Amino acid sequence: MLSPEIIASQIPHVLKGTNFTNLGNYYEGKVRDNYTQGDKRILVTTDRLSAFDSIIALIPFKGQVLNAMTKFWFEKTKDICPNYIMEYPDPNVIVGKECKPIMVEMIVRGYITGSTTTSAWYNYEKGVRNFCGNELPDGMIKNQRLPMPIITPTTKAAHGEHDKNITPAEIVSTGLLSQEDWNKLSHYALALYMRGVEIAAANGVILVDTKYEFGKTADGEIVVIDEIHTPDSSRYWIAETYADRMKEGKEPDNINKEFLRLWLSNQGYMGEGEMPAIPEEIIVETTQKYIQAFELITGQEFKGEEGDPLPRITKNLESYSI
């Protein structure tokens, strides 16, 4: 684990964003700067932290941690599902095949949990027993393991709108996907999840649920895109304490990315009005939470590249200049 001193000394070098003019068409995502050129997409994972629908802070090493985690998982799953990755030219950067996104989000759940209106537990508690085409047994309790993992797809909503639950039958009948493509996607999604569960379990972690995005390459091949199994797309619990906490009626120990959002909530900030200043030690602690998550989940030590990232990234992306 990087020392608090090293993390603090990286604060002046946080990666807020990039504005390369030689890398293609620019799209600024919440966290990643995207450049597209023909059939290639360059994704620069910045240190931006988004919460309350805006960027609330810059967290040293966050981009590198998330990029390293994405790399870890794509490497560990490429034998069971093709992905869009072409290269990792820099600790903050992925270069991949530009794809036509498939407008269905593939959510896989091994446990019944969640609190949002699309979550399994929210619906189950309301009496739903057929959830996105999956029959659920009576008598389940919150956070219980499902008899087997289920796929609960949603539509991919336009910006500012909410994703909606959908059944596989509806996906096919509305022409979102052919039956053949649905079969392929569901096969890939389950295989990815099972691999994730297995590797996480070996490190004492439960991969509770997760979301996959798929796309079609220029050749028409279906591949998994974006990122997989990072705390942004996935829920993780600590395995060791799960059973005891369930018995005691407590929530599982969550490896969460919500540390800073919770800190702000505790200061009375809910996203409205002026945000309280975030002390340096809270920024450092936020980085530590990300690194801890990486090290716990992957079982590997995080090695960060210190110093100003922009000149390094510029150099590492020279060969992509157009």
Decide whether 34 or 134 has the Cβ nearer to ligand ADP.
Answer: 34
Nearest CA among 91, 36, 92, 69 for reference residue 228? 69
Q: CB 20 → ligand ADP: shortest distance, Å?
A: 15
Among 9, 20, 26, 29, interactor with ligand ADP by CB under 6 A: 29
Decide whether 91 or 215 has the Cβ nearer to ligand ADP.
Answer: 215
- Read off φ and ψ for residue 191, nearest 5 degrees: -65, -45
CA 285, 287, 288, 294 torsion-angle sign: positive
DSSP string, 172-202: HHTTSS-HHHHHHHHHHHHHHHHHHHHHHHH
Residue 31 amino acid letter: V
Task: Tell me: does residue 32 bind ligand ADP (CB under 6 A).
Answer: yes
Residue 243 CB neighbours (<10 A): 10
Among 61, 72, 73, 84, interactor with ligand ADP by CB under 6 A: 84
Q: Contacts with ligand ADP: how many residues (CB under 6 A)? A: 17
Task: Tell me: does residue 30 bind ligand ADP (CB under 6 A).
Answer: yes
Task: Tell me: does residue 23 bind ligand ADP (CB under 6 A).
Answer: no
CA 94, 36, 45, 156 torsion-angle sign: negative
Q: Using the rule CB under 6 A, give the single segment among 24-32, 131-139, 172-180, 300-308 that binds ligand ADP.
A: 24-32
Task: Tell me: does residue 229 bind ligand ADP (CB under 6 A).
Answer: no
Helix (H) or strand (E) holding 302: none
Task: Tell me: does residue 299 bind ligand ADP (CB under 6 A).
Answer: no
Where on the chain is the footprint of ligand ADP (CB under 6 A)? 29-32, 34, 41, 43, 84, 96-99, 101, 213, 215, 225-226
